[in-house]
Chain A
Amino acid sequence: MLTDMLLLLPTTLIDGLVLGLIYASIALGYTMVYGVLGLINFAHSEVFMVGAIVAIEVLIYGLAGTGLHPLIQLVVAIAVGGLAAGFLAVAIERVAYRPLRVRNAPRLVPLITTIGVSLFLQDSVRFVESLFGQFIRPFPSFPFFNRQIVLSETVFISNRTLAIIVLAVTLLAGLYYMVHRTRLGKAMRAVALDQKTSQLMGINVNKVIATTFFIGGVAGGVAGVLYALQFGRMDPFSGFIPGIKAFTAAVLGGIGSVEGAVLGGVLLGILEVVLGTYIPMWTNNAIGTEYKDIIAFSILILILIFRPNGLVGRAYAEKV
């Protein structure tokens, strides 16, 4: 049995990494918005979902039969889905959150609004998709993505897995660079720390906040497309669970921190897949895969008890 487990390990870790990178990409949207506004944007999981559904429609109605290489089709679909998600996030901020912000609403109010927007989007998408048929949208299948690259006798990696890893890592690296090295990123960090003083520096705070929503939305949308590619489908309600898990990942890493979101996301993804694979083996199927979340979240709670500010949380990094 031990050899079985060892043989499975590389594939399990790779699958965990894929899921983790997707969580990380979603988590960025939560963490960036929380960073600048102190707001937990629960509608982010629906931004994720909309990105995926738009991409799927683009693949089905726009790109099918064009004969383009599947990778090019995927990249185009990601671009369109990501942009749609970005603009949706900006629209949500403009319509639902900013009016509360300028009126200095107590913190709980925008939080409730994010939940309202979340439910509103779920059923709006369900309504629209139902008009055209099934609201569960399968991701178009491409034999190309199923093709396996043989790394060793027991370790294979599919083109799908490889594509997701490369795209997600590119996205995360790009965002890290943006936040830490660019003028916009500096402005975002300044606004996160002190809005009034940022204005004194000539920073248009509303613009920076809108841009933050846009970038977080794009990342969420891209993550949605990758998630749909990995699991083969998306429906109006399937943003919720990965959304909650990505939010957990953001808190685990230390909310407000980009590095934390990545660390938390990858850790959670790997934990989930590894436990899902091995628990049934360890227990002779007495405890099934479905218990993976219970155990994964118990571990997270434990970690947070000992590091309440998250893995790279602020209280631990105050002096550098």
Chain B
Amino acid sequence: MTIETTKGPLLEVRDLHVYYGHVQALKGISFHVNEGEIVTLIGGNGAGKTTTLHTLSKLLTPRSGEILLGGQPIHKIDADEIVRTGITHVPEGRRIFSRLTVRENLEIGAYLLTSKTEITRRIEASFELFPRLRERERQYGGTLSGGEQQMLAIARALMLDPRIILLDEPSMGLSPLFVEKIFEIIQSVNKSGKTVVLVEQNALMALEIAHRGYVLQSGHVVMGGDADLLAKDPSVQSAYLGGEIAAAL
């Protein structure tokens, strides 16, 4: 399925309601993402960020609401078919296939491609982007360090050359130096033309590289707008950025 470029936003979420059994996790969430943007979803623990990304990937089915990609509804498509619309997902906690080698993880990322030469070409390209992965090509994914796993997860999600990449807390558990590196990578991925939806606890850094952002709180979008405006907003500062750090912005 190919999505035509239209005038409206590339991705639009309308009034999404999502439940875990009887527990409601998303209580009517709406937001949109324009082509070429980095949009960040920030918010505290349990705000519903991961749930939102899982719903976009259809690992969860919304009880009501719509998800439109290029104006076309995609919330009725099965999870394994979503990838074909050009959306890939770097899940929370990286979710590397621990007993597949680094190379096999990348090959699985390209599962939908059938041309061996094309797969090889793309693996080469991701080794260019992440030289460390080349060194560890034949190692099991589970033996990589946290930062290396995050690189692998991103490389894996890039294998299909997606239009939109969903990133769930890529900075989680990484050293400051590595976080810096990962954010640089996200920016360069975005500059290469990919639209990015970035979920982060690290709101300060996320807002720094994002064009726009939304603040989630207990299953609601409580605020949204340009990233630099959000970063200056007093309520965002006190809630997510911490007073002094934010003042230094």
What is the interface of chain A, defined by CB distance below 8 A to chain B?
Answer: 183, 186-187, 189-190, 193-194, 196-205, 314, 318-320
Contacts and interface: CB of A to CB of B under 8 A. Distances in A.
Contacts of A202: 80-81, 83-84, 111-112, 160
- Lowest 10 CB-CB distances: which A-B pairs, in order? A202-B83, A199-B79, A197-B95, A202-B112, A204-B80, A200-B89, A201-B111, A199-B80, A193-B97, A190-B108
Contacts of A205: 80
Nearest to A187: B111
Chain A residues touching B, majority SS: helix
Nearest to A205: B80
24 contacts: A183-B107, A186-B107, A187-B108, A190-B100, A193-B98, A196-B91, A199-B57, A199-B59, A199-B79, A199-B80, A200-B59, A200-B88, A201-B109, A201-B112, A202-B81, A202-B84, A203-B80, A203-B111, A204-B78, A314-B99, A318-B142, A319-B143, A320-B140, A320-B143
A319 B57 CA distance: 32
Contacts of A203: 80, 108, 111
B108 A186 contact: yes
A183 B111 CA distance: 8
A190 B84 CA distance: 19
B228 interface: no
B104 interface: yes
B79 A319 contact: no
Interface string B76-120: 001111011000110100010111100010011101100000000
Interface of B: 57, 59, 78-81, 83-84, 88-89, 91, 95, 97-100, 104, 107-109, 111-112, 139-140, 142-143, 156, 160
Contacts of A193: 97-100
Contacts of A319: 140, 143
B100 A189 contact: yes
A95 to B, nearest CB: 21
A4 to B, nearest CB: 48
A98 B239 CA distance: 45
B28 to A, nearest CB: 25
A116 to B, nearest CB: 28
A200 B168 CA distance: 13
A320 B104 CA distance: 15
Given A189-B97, A194-B95, A200 B57 contact: yes
Nearest to A193: B97
B74 to A, nearest CB: 14
B80 A197 contact: no
A186 B103 CA distance: 11
Contacts, number: 70
A200 B84 CA distance: 10
Contacts of A204: 78, 80
A202 B113 CA distance: 10
Given A196-B59, A199-B59, A200-B89, A189 B80 contact: no
Nearest to A317: B99
A203 B95 CA distance: 15
A61 B111 CA distance: 44
Contacts of B84: 202
Contact of B104 (A186, A197, A198, A199): A186
Contact of A201 (B59, B108, B143): B108
A186 B156 CA distance: 14
Given A186-B108, A318-B142, A319-B143, A200 B83 contact: yes
Contacts of B89: 200
A200 B79 contact: yes
Contacts of A198: 108
A318 B57 CA distance: 30
Contact of B99 (A183, A187, A189, A199): A189
A196 B84 CA distance: 16
A190 B140 CA distance: 13
Contact of A190 (B57, B97, B112): B97
Contacts of A199: 57, 59, 79-80
A196 B88 CA distance: 13
Given A196-B91, A319-B143, 7 more contacts: A193-B100, A200-B91, A202-B83, A203-B111, A204-B78, A314-B99, A318-B142
A254 to B, nearest CB: 12
Contact of A186 (B57, B98, B100, B142): B100
Contacts of B83: 200-202
B83 to A, nearest CB: 4
Contacts of B111: 183, 186-187, 201-203
A202 B107 CA distance: 12
Contacts of B88: 200
